[in-house]
Amino acid sequence: MKHTNIRIAIIFLIINMFCFTRTFAFGPSSNAIYNGIDVSQWQERINYQEVKNSGIEVVYIRASEGEGYIDPYFKANYENAKANGLKVGFYHYVTARTEEEARQQAQFFASVIGGTTPDCKLAMDFESFGNLSIEEINNISLEFLQTLESITGKECIIYSDAYNAINTFGEELTKYPIWIAEYGVSSPEPNGKWNTWEGFQYTDLGSVRGINGNVDMDYYTEEIFLSDQNNIPENETNITRPEETQTIIVQPGDTLSYLAIEYNTTVEKLVELNNIQNPNLIYVGESLKIPIIGTVKKRETITYTVQYGDTLTAIAERYATTVNQIVELNNIQNPNLIYVGQTLEINTNVSSANDLHDTNHTLYRVIRGDTLSSIAVRYGTTVTQLVELNNIQNPNLIYVGEILRI
């Protein structure tokens, strides 16, 4: 009798598990899978004929960011991808902090892509939240997507990493399909909200013929394609803002190419703004106009103590400067010979946003390969302290170029 009661209890427990446990499948929305990439100015000039020949079928292109920034390669990427028979989609990097800003950014995005004929749903890339609450993030997302749909008449999709799909974006957003980012897995993890994906970004270290350096690689399903293939209407209400500039002083080791990367612009734009006759010839002490994109950057000198394993190349990359600048500033005779414990003066470049004017902490620029764990070890701190100090929502997700307080 005792054994019978135990068997009955086990059966009852199993029945409860089947009745009350919710399971979520999370796979592609259809069996037809297309090979794709997503690109921005960081890939610079792309040979789309080679990209097409390598087997890529779909390319998502960054069109814009915030309320006033247009990717300098947007137009060329769109025209050349279309000319080579690739399916094209556009995405906008959202920086809004209010619902009103979300509406303005949706209007701006729509005006940038006005007159084009995308093949794929318009994507919202909202991943940097600052101090926003979960409710605010979802309200801003809804406002952006609803405004964009209303203006363009096109379907939209949400780009999100796995962490934010699980922890940040709410059920109210599941009426929009998802393009999920998760690296190093054969299939993205279930998030408990979306049952299928229409896009899966599986690496940011892809290699494709026709593109110099790494590129994001994706799988897309046929549902990501727009049912309406008409042009996006021109947004006649858009007002072109006069271009704002800041003035910098050329430092030892500066080149137009380096300054273009540093200030998120192009050599061609610097040549045009400054009426430069020879792009290969600029002078130390010369004043140059630089387009203002987002927050203004300014140069600051810091003192850095060389750590085990450091090279001037790695230090220069970390602090958005050049080896030549470090050599000149520190009168280094042999750039290949630096010592653990040696102190270096470095002209670094950081955002001038108020939250980075902090004399109590070291400011660190994330480089490729960094993790919070490796940064914590290097600076003798902990991941927990870095998370708290920088208000990091996902400790496994930091970005190249991001500035962290240490």
Note the pLDDT tens digit of each residue in 310-344: 888 878 767 767 777 788 788 888 888 898 889 88
Residues ≥6 apart with Cβ < 8 Å to 179 = 123, 157, 158, 159, 160, 197, 198, 199, 200, 201, 218, 220, 224
CA dihedral 383, 388, 393, 396 (to 10 degrees): -10
Asked if 187 and 180 count as a contact pair (C-beta separation under 8 A), the reply is no
pLDDT confidence of residue 363: 67
Q: Three-class SS of residue 40?
A: coil
Whole-number Å distance between alpha carbons of 292 and 247: 10
Both tokens assigned to 150:
């209303």
Overall pTM surpassing 0.85 (yes/no)? no
pLDDT beneath 50, residues of the chain: 1-4, 6, 8-24, 237-242, 294-298, 350-359
pLDDT confidence of residue 303: 80
pLDDT confidence of residue 293: 57
Sign of the Cα torsion 48, 71, 397, 28 reads negative
CA distances from 334 to 4, 158, 323, 330 (A): 83, 50, 11, 11
**How many other C-beta atoms can be found within 10 angstroms of the C-beta atom of residue 180?**
26
**Residues annotated as catalytic (active site), given as ranges:** 38, 127
CA distances from 171 to 27, 147, 200, 285 (A): 18, 19, 20, 55
Whole-number Å distance between alpha carbons of 325 and 317: 12
Q: Which amino acid is at 35?
A: N
